[in-house]
Amino acid sequence: MDAPEEFSESYDAVVLGGGAAGLLTALLLARGGCSVAVLEARQVGDGTTGHSTGKVSLLQGTKLQRALRTNPLPVVRRYVEAGAEGQAWLRRYCEGHGLPVAGRVATTYATTDRGEDRVRAELDAATRAGLAVRTTTDTELPFPVRGAVELDDQFQVDPSRLLSLLVADVEAEGGEVHERVRAVEVHRSGDGVRVRTDGGRYLRAGVAVVATNQPVLLRGLFFARMQASRSYAATFESPWAPDGMHLSADDDVRSLRSTESGGERLLMVGGAGHVTGRGSASAHRDRLLDWARASFPEARLRTVWSAQDQSPVDGLPYAGPAVPGDHRVQVVTGFDKWGLSTAPAAALLLAADLLGGTRPDWADALRTWAPRQVRAAPRAALTNAEVGWQMACGHAGRLLAGDRPPVCTHLGGVLAWNDAEDSWDCPLHGSRFAPDGTVLEGPAVRPLR
C-alpha cells in the first residue's frame, strides 16, 4: 500500500473508508473499468466492519417492525429484496474465495413479556415483507425462551478475512488502497470533486464515495439524521456454542453465535448497546459480561471488543447522492448494525448508478432523499432535541469544571471519557478521539486542540 506522496494525480472515483461498504463499492467500480483509490484513515479492519459479529441475515432482530413505523410496506419489502440480492452476491463471492458460508438458522427470540410482544410483531412484519419465517418455542438455546422467529439459510462470515480478500481484489483490479490517510475535505470542482487529505495532498476525482460509517461531511446533514451507538462483544471458551445465530428482542439485547479460532469452537456473545458518549462504557460492557457468566457458568472469557454503528431516524440505510441531484458526492451509511447484510446491496446500487447501469427495482429503499422520510420527522426532532440537551448540559458542566473537558472538533460537543476503551467520545454525534487527541471515529476529521 503506497504512501500519500505516490498518489496518482486523479481518479475516476475516490472512496473514503476501508470497511465493507467502501471496499465493495471500490471493487465493483474497478471491475467496471474505473480508476479507484480507497482512503482509510486508520487501518483496514479498525472500524465497524472489523469489529462486527459477522452475521449476514435478512432476519435482523426487530428491525422490520421498526422500519414499518416510518416507511410504507412496499418500501420495507424492497429493503428485504435489496438485502436478498446483496446477500446472494456476497455468498457467491465468499464461496469463490474459499470463505465458509454454511447455511445457519437466524433467530429473533424473547425471554421477557415485552420481548415476546416484539417477537410476534417481527413475525408479522417479516411475513408481510416477504420473508419465509416461522415461529417456535423450541430453540437450541440452553435457557427458557418465550417465543422465537426463525429464518433458514442465513450465514456468518469472518469479517477480517473478508476485508483482506476485498483489499487484495481491489488491488488486483488496478485499484489502490491507502491506509493511514484521512480525507478532511471534499470540494465540488467542475464536473468532479477535489479531495484534501490530512497530509495536505489534493486528489481530483469524478466522484467521491463517503463510506465512513458516519459521513465525515457536513453536506447532507447526515449526522442529524442518525444516532451513533456503541455495543460490545466477547468470545468465550465454552462447552456450549450455538449452531445458529440468535438475537434477542428483549430490552437488554443479546446476540449469540459460534466462531472458530485456531481450530477451536468458541461462543460469541454481544449486546449492551448505548448511545456513544452517554453513560459509563465500562458499566455497559460489564453488564454484558456478567450476563454471559451467569448464563454460561462454565464459560471462560477469551476476548472483548466493541463497535460503533449508526441508526437512521427513518429506519433504513442511505446509499446515494449526499445532496439531491448532485452525483459528484455519494454517501453510504446507516446500516444499524447490519452492514455485512446490507452493504453489498448498497455497493451494487452505487455501482449501477455511477457506471450507467440499470438501477435495481429495490433502489428506492436505500434512497438518501425521499418524500417518505418526512414520516420520520418526529423521531428526528426528538433525536436532535436530545443532542441539544447534551450540548447544553455538557457546556454547563465544562464551566463548572474550569474548562478542563475537551471539546469535539465537529460541532463543539463536550467530550466524555470512555472508561472502557480509554478514549474521548462525543455524546452528540459519536466522534471519538484517542488520549493524544487523534481522531478514532468521525464525523470529526480534525484532532483535538
Query: Does residue 419 form part of some domain?
Result: yes
Q: What angle do CA 299, 158, 156 make, to 5 degrees?
A: 80
Please report the pLDDT score of residue 403 as a whole number: 63
Phi, psi angle pair for 86, to nearest 5°: -65, -40
Structural domain boundaries, residue 197: 4-50+160-224+315-375
Sequence letter at residue 117 = D
Query: Does residue 220 form part of some domain?
Result: yes
Same domain, residue pair 241 and 306: yes
The enclosing domain of 204 has a CATH number of: 3.50.50.60
End residue of a domain, out of 333, 357, 375: 375
Q: What three-state secondary structure class fits 126?
A: helix
Q: Is 103 exposed, middle or buried (0-12, 13-18, 19+ CB in 10 A)?
A: exposed
End residue of a domain, out of 312, 327, 355: 312
Please report the pLDDT score of residue 2 as a whole number: 46
CA distance 334 to 380: 14
Query: Does residue 211 form part of some domain?
Result: yes
Query: Does residue 92 form part of some domain?
Result: no
Same domain, residue pair 241 and 258: yes
CA distances from 261 to 190, 378, 392 (A): 50, 45, 46
Query: Does residue 68 form part of some domain?
Result: no
- Is the pTM of the predicted complex or chain greater than 0.75? yes
Sequence letter at residue 215 = P
DSSP H helices, 69-158, are: 73-96, 113-128
Q: Would you say 154 and 103 are in contact if contact means Cβ atoms under 8 Å apart?
A: yes
Query: Does residue 94 form part of some domain?
Result: no
How many C-beta neighbours within 10 Å does residue 319 have?
Answer: 30
Please report the pLDDT score of residue 199 as a whole number: 87
Please report the pLDDT score of residue 449 as a whole number: 83
Q: Total structural domains in the chain? A: 3
Residue pLDDT, tens place only, 410-443: 988 899 999 999 999 999 999 999 999 999 998 9
Same domain, residue pair 265 and 303: yes
Same domain, residue pair 214 and 363: yes
Average pLDDT, the chain: 91
Same domain, residue pair 396 and 278: no
End residue of a domain, out of 293, 312, 331: 312
Same domain, residue pair 430 and 328: no
The enclosing domain of 304 has a CATH number of: 3.30.9.10
Same domain, residue pair 324 and 207: yes
Please report the pLDDT score of residue 159 as a whole number: 95
Please report the pLDDT score of residue 4 as a whole number: 46
Phi, psi angle pair for 414, to nearest 5°: -80, 125
Same domain, residue pair 230 and 167: no
Same domain, residue pair 120 and 220: no
Can you give the pLDDT of all 449 residues of the chain as single tens digits? 544 455 668 999 999 999 999 999 999 999 999 999 999 999 999 999 999 999 999 999 999 999 999 999 999 999 999 999 999 999 999 999 999 898 999 999 999 999 999 999 999 999 999 999 999 999 999 999 999 999 999 999 999 999 999 999 999 999 999 999 999 999 988 889 999 999 889 999 999 999 998 988 767 788 888 899 999 999 999 999 999 999 999 999 999 999 998 889 999 999 999 999 998 999 999 999 999 999 999 999 999 999 999 999 889 999 999 999 889 999 999 999 999 999 999 999 999 999 999 999 999 999 998 766 666 666 656 665 565 556 566 666 666 666 678 999 998 889 999 999 999 999 999 999 999 999 999 899 999 98
Same domain, residue pair 188 and 272: no
Query: Does residue 96 form part of some domain?
Result: no
Please report the pLDDT score of residue 442 as a whole number: 86
Please report the pLDDT score of residue 189 as a whole number: 86
Residue pLDDT, tens place only, 89-137: 999 999 999 998 989 999 999 999 999 999 999 999 999 999 999 999 9
Specify which residues 304 forms β-bridges with.
234
Query: Following DSSP, what letter does each residue of 248-309 receive, concatenated?
Result: E-SSS-EEEEEEEETTEEEEEEEEEEEETTSS-HHHHHHHHHHHHHHH-TT-EEEEEEEEEE
Same domain, residue pair 28 and 165: yes
How many C-beta neighbours within 10 Å does residue 161 have?
Answer: 15
Q: Would you say 205 and 193 are in contact if contact means Cβ atoms under 8 Å apart?
A: yes
CA distance 222 to 230: 18
Same domain, residue pair 281 and 402: no
Query: Does residue 449 form part of some domain?
Result: no
CA distance 403 to 397: 9
